Structure 1
Amino acid sequence: MGDRLQGKVAIITGAGSGIGRASALLFAAEGAKLVLGDKTDAVRDVAKAIVASGGQATAFQMDAGVEADVAHLVAAAQAAYGRLDVAFANAGIAGGMASIFEATPELWTEVLRVNLIGPWLMVKHAGKAMADAGHGGSIICTASVAGIRSGAGGPAYSASKAGVINLAMVSAQQLCETGVRVNALCPGLTETGMTAPTFNYAKDKGVTHKLGRLNPLRRAAQPEELANVALFLASDQSSYVNGQAIAVDGGLSSSHPVTRQLPGQTAV
């Protein structure tokens, strides 16, 4: 397909489905050698598909919020391919929509463990490996438009993703002069395993046309559309993009909520 990641070695977590799977297939098509992680066994099927297509990929079942598992992925990439150039900390969980008054500390702890501590662990281990190697690299952390402002997710999820955005900024500064870039990818409503209940409900009710109607493009995204932006951030084409939160949301986060106005009306 292309060669934008030719010669590069990449780690992707949450690679068994959704954005992670789409990114794994795309990165491989662009020449990357891959180490894939996911909590489910589906990640092995993704690796097999890549190998069957002539690519290189190894897969591990792991927990993105467990330090030993993340460190193992980084070590596996170095052992198998001799280097590490890209780390995509994509794994995450939704955590439900319980309000701040209904949620439990256990729920918040688990959401933060996977969604925020997980990306931090990737920065800690992959960032050090890249910095020590001296050839730079790119770390991508999946955040969300829910981390930019309220209204796109539950409280625990939204807070965790806001943390990821700040983590990318802080990490970019702490990796100063290493050539390692850190950015946050902020998806809007995307059809993935995590959002399957929403999409399935809409299909059952016959209202799929309403999904994503709050953004100017008036539709939801497909995982491949997010993978394309992840590819840009992973590649040398984004060599001067660092410490940023890139919203890929159809324009949802470009505006505050408004009442649609007829031509000639004046906003209040």
Structure 2
Amino acid sequence: MTTGAPEALSMAVRLQDRVVLITGAGGTIGLESASRLLQEGARLSLLDISTTALDKAMEQLKPLIPADQEASSRIIAIKTDVTVAADMEAATAKTVDTFGRLDCAFLNAGISYSSTSIFDTTEELYEKLMAINVKSAFLGIRATGKAMRDLGNGGSIIITSSIAGLRGTPGLILYSGSKYAVRGFAQTAANELGQYGIRVNTIHPSGVDGVMFRNTWSPEKLQSLLDAMPLGRFAQASDISSVVAFLASDDSKFMTGGFMKVDGGCINF
């Protein structure tokens, strides 16, 4: 038996035929998580406001589907404005209509911005960021939670927060506030939806290395952030996707209302 056999067995079975809806599916974390979930057997509903991002995601994910399976039986892509209730409800309904179930919602849509002082932070940025980071999470919980309740099979809702939702983050007052807000959503929803077998948790990554993260901070700040990482590196998207897969699976079946740091140890409490 090869050393890869046990891992291959796990990847094929843990999420076999589970249906996962992902918002912000065309982004770095969304796409990496989609890849991981697909390889673990899940069927995916990919939501993003960008058709281009969805097309790129489909192009990257289709080769992961076994040749004896139709791509349409494993993945659908839905252009969705997750800040609009009707869009989110329609996308959720289409997911259920297509696959016949909904086992997990990964509410991952979000944006950040370059570090800015409180005094230079505009009301326009507040409105945009709160809509995408906070309103979308509320609408996502409401739409997918209702679908899971009505289907009667329970489920898992995972919301992407940040380490900025666990500590004050100078220069990112709106981003930090938005990531604290979704933590409050998760705690409340976990208490309210637990009676239906629906679990709700947040994940709190440190900055995932990439263009957006590096554009947020100056080179000097990036170095100071790196110096504060006990594991000596910034996060990779695959570090996040493995935690998403865990929370989507029955391996986390007694976990709800929790927050999971994926931060290389940079926050200690």
Per the alignment, residue 162 of structure 2 pairs with 144
Displacement of 1:50 in angstroms is: 2.4
Q: 2:230 & 2:17 partners in 1: Cα distance?
A: 38
Per the alignment, residue 243 of structure 1 pairs with 257
**Higher fraction of helix:** 2
1:254 paired with 2:268, answer: yes
- Distance change (3 Å), C-alpha of 1:152 and 1:131: farther
Structure 1 residues 69-112: Cα deviation after superposition (integer angstroms, max 9, x where no partner):
21122111111101100100001000332222221222111111
1:38 paired with 2:56, answer: no
Q: 1:72 & 1:31 partners in 2: Cα distance?
A: 25
Displacement of 1:52 in angstroms is: 2.9
- Distance change (3 Å), C-alpha of 1:97 and 1:4: same
What is the percentage of aligned positions where both structures have the same residue? 37
Per the alignment, residue 260 of structure 1 pairs with none
Between 72-81 and 235-244, report the one with greater CA deviation: 72-81
Per the alignment, residue 95 of structure 1 pairs with 113
Per the alignment, residue 262 of structure 1 pairs with none
Pick one of 203, 227, 243 that aligns with 1:213. 227
Q: CA RMSD in A?
A: 2.1
1:22 paired with 2:36, answer: no
Q: 1:153 & 1:75 partners in 2: Cα distance?
A: 39
User: Does the residue aligned with 2:267 lie in a helix, a strand or coil?
Assistant: helix
Which stretches of structure 1, 4 residues or more, deviate above 6 A after TM superposition? 207-210
Q: Given that residues 97 and 154 in structure 1 are in contact (C-alpha distance below 8 angstroms), is that contact kept between their aligned partners in structure 2?
A: yes
TM-score of the aligned structures, taking structure 1 as reference length: 0.87
User: Does the residue aligned with 2:194 lie in a helix, a strand or coil?
Assistant: coil
Alignment of 1:34-183 (within 5 A): 34-40=44-50, 41-54=52-65, 56-151=74-169, 154-183=172-201
Letter in 2 for 1:50: L
Q: 2:98 & 2:236 partners in 1: Cα distance?
A: 32
Q: 2:116 & 2:195 partners in 1: Cα distance?
A: 42
Number of aligned residue pairs: 251
Letter in 2 for 1:60: I
Structure 1 residues 179-238: Cα deviation after superposition (integer angstroms, max 9, x where no partner):
000000100011245325258x75xx9x98766221211210100110000110111100
Pick one of 248, 254, 260 that aligns with 1:234. 248
TM-score of the aligned structures, taking structure 2 as reference length: 0.87
Q: Given that residues 18 and 191 in structure 1 are in contact (C-alpha distance below 8 angstroms), is that contact kept between their aligned partners in structure 2?
A: no
Q: Given that residues 118 and 171 in structure 2 are in contact (C-alpha distance below 8 angstroms), is that contact kept between their aligned partners in structure 1?
A: no
- Distance change (3 Å), C-alpha of 1:38 and 1:193: farther
1:185 paired with 2:195, answer: no
Q: Given that residues 117 and 170 in structure 2 are in contact (C-alpha distance below 8 angstroms), is that contact kept between their aligned partners in structure 1?
A: no
Q: Given that residues 36 and 241 in structure 2 are in contact (C-alpha distance below 8 angstroms), is that contact kept between their aligned partners in structure 1?
A: yes
